[in-house]
């Protein structure tokens, strides 16, 4: 009797259970009759599938890549309007405000002011047209470079709290519009510098645009040397102003550019120190992420270099007078002090102090330069070496006159 029940259970697909139920069924051995599938459950033919997929995607465009002759297998690429609209769709509320945000107007004005300072420090009379061309052209080229920077870094800006509200990240500007804006402003700036100033200033502007957008921006994610490349970008605008005024570059111009080059390090390192987490999350290989000690060392090193450049190199190259060498001492000494504090105790407070003072330091240095340059008398307008030589000769002549008068 038991053997007959076991035989019937095996035919029906029942198996012993370890749970509270007595038996489980196994679907693999079931002998229940199969039901006929409904018509709507049957697989559709290949032709009808393609028609349905095309009908269900009304927002798509079919690009036919086949030539005039029809082949056995034609290839159609389907590009949806959703992806095409990402290049030109804009959701702006104030176009003027978004333009200013795209070009980083405050930063571009700051860069243009350094070009103006370079023009005014040149030993030539001030001409209105070249001065305006140097200032406006530098502002336009800086706007173009900043637009290219935001265009290339939009996916990474979305990962940082400081930059996640930029216009390209929140789709207030389309990539196509930003690219067009960068091209128009950049070429207009080069044209202004070439026509109203000289080709050297225009070439320096084009070179700076290329270094910022083509070297510095992609280098930020690959090498620690991006900070030095960015410092070169910051040093070129005063050269553009100086070249727009004189048409050439002399030791005084290179001294001014070196001052701007060294200023970039305490400025950027003080800014980036508190953003190490964001930079690391976005994949940027800046000093504060890859080598924290080097970040602190370069800050104090270039702060000391600024003191020597302003107090020694600037008068020797006839960029400024000896008065500027003395007046700039307390301004640079305080920068060295803040850099030393940042080196010894690299916390958020010291880095923030260093950054904010760097924003005050450069305008003060440029103001003192202008005062010393326009306060020169005829004797001070001579080169420093000639002034020292002439003073030495006058001292020798006075000694000789005293000796001759005493003998008589």
3-state secondary structure the chain: CHHHHHHHHHHHCEEECCCCCCEEECHHHCCCCCCCCCHHHCCCCHHHHHHHHHHCCCCEEEEECCCCCCCCCCCEEEEEHHHHHCCCCCCCCCHHHHHHHHCCHHHHHHHHHHHHHHHHCCCCCCCHHHHHHHHHHHHHHHHHHHHHHHHHHHHHHCCCCCCCCCCCCCCCCCHHHHHHHHHHHHHHHHHHHHHHHCHHHHHHHHHHHHHHHHHHHHHCCCCCCHHHHHHHHHHHHHHHHHHHHHCCCCHHHHHHHHHHHHHHHHHHHHHHHHHHHHHHHHCCCCHHHHCHHHHHHHHHHHHHHHHHHHHHHHHHCCCCCHHHHHHHHHHHHHHHHHHHHHHHCCCHHHHHHHHHHHHHHHHHHHHHHHHHHHCCCCCCCCCHHHHHHHHHHHHHHHHHHHHHHHHC
pLDDT(268) > 50: yes
pLDDT at 273: 93
**Is domain 95-223 in CATH 1.10.357.140, yes or no?**
yes
Q: Which band of pLDDT confidence, cut at 50, 70 and 90, is reported for residue 45?
A: low
Q: Which band of pLDDT confidence, cut at 50, 70 and 90, is reported for residue 407?
A: low
Q: What is this structure's pTM? A: 0.72
pLDDT tens digits along 299-335: 999 999 999 999 999 999 989 988 899 999 999 999 9
Q: What percentage of the chain carries pLDDT values higher than 70?
A: 69
Mean pLDDT over each residue of the chain, to the nearest integer: 80
> Which range, of 46-55, 254-263, 277-286, averages the lowest pLDDT?
46-55
Q: What is the mean pLDDT of residues 229-234?
A: 95
Q: What is the mean pLDDT of residues 138-163?
A: 90
């Amino acid at each position: 009797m038991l053997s007959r029940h076991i035989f019937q259970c095996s035919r029906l697909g029942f198996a012993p259970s370890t749970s509270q139920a007595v038996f489980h069924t196994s679907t693999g051995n079931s002998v229940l009759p199969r039901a006929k599938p409904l018509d709507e459950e049957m697989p559709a033919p290949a032709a009808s599938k393609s028609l349905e997929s095309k009908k269900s995607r009304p927002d798509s465009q079919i690009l036919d890549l086949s030539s005039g002759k029809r082949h056995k297998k034609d290839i159609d690429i389907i590009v949806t309007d959703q992806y095409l609209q990402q290049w030109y769709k804009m959701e702006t509320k104030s176009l003027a405000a978004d333009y200013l945000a795209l070009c980083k107007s405050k930063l571009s004005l700051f860069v243009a002011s350094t070009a103006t300072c370079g023009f005014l420090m040149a030993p030539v009379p001030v001409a209105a047209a070249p001065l305006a061309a140097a200032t406006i052209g530098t502002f336009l080229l800086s706007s173009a470079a900043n637009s290219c920077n935001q265009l290339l870094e939009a996916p990474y800006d979305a990962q940082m709290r400081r930059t996640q509200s930029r216009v390209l990240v929140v789709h207030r500007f389309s990539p196509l519009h930003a690219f067009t804006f960068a091209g128009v402003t950049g070429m207009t700036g080069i044209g202004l510098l070439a026509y109203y100033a000289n080709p050297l200033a225009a070439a320096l502007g084009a070179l700076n645009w290329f270094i910022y957008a083509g070297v510095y921006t992609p280098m930020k994610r690959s090498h620690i040397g991006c900070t030095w490349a960015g410092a070169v970008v910051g040093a070129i605008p005063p050269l553009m102003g100086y070249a727009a005024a004189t048409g050439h570059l002399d030791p005084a111009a290179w001294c001014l550019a070196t001052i701007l080059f060294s200023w970039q390090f305490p400025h950027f390192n003080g800014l980036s120190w508190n953003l190490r987490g964001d930079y690391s999350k976005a994949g940027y290989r800046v000093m504060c992420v890859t080598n924290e000690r080097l970040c602190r060392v370069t800050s104090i090193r270039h702060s000391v270099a600024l003191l020597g450049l302003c107090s020694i190199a600037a008068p020797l190259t006839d960029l400024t007078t000896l008065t500027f060498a003395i007046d700039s001492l307390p301004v640079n000494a305080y920068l060295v002090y803040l850099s030393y504090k940042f080196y010894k105790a690299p916390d958020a407070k010291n880095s923030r102090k260093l950054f904010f003072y760097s924003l005050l330091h450069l305008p003060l240095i440029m103001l003192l330069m202008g005062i010393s340059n326009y306060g020169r008398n005829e004797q001070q307008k001579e080169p420093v070496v000639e002034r020292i030589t002439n003073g030495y000769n006058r001292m020798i002549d006075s000694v000789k006159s005293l000796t001759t008068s005493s003998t008589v």
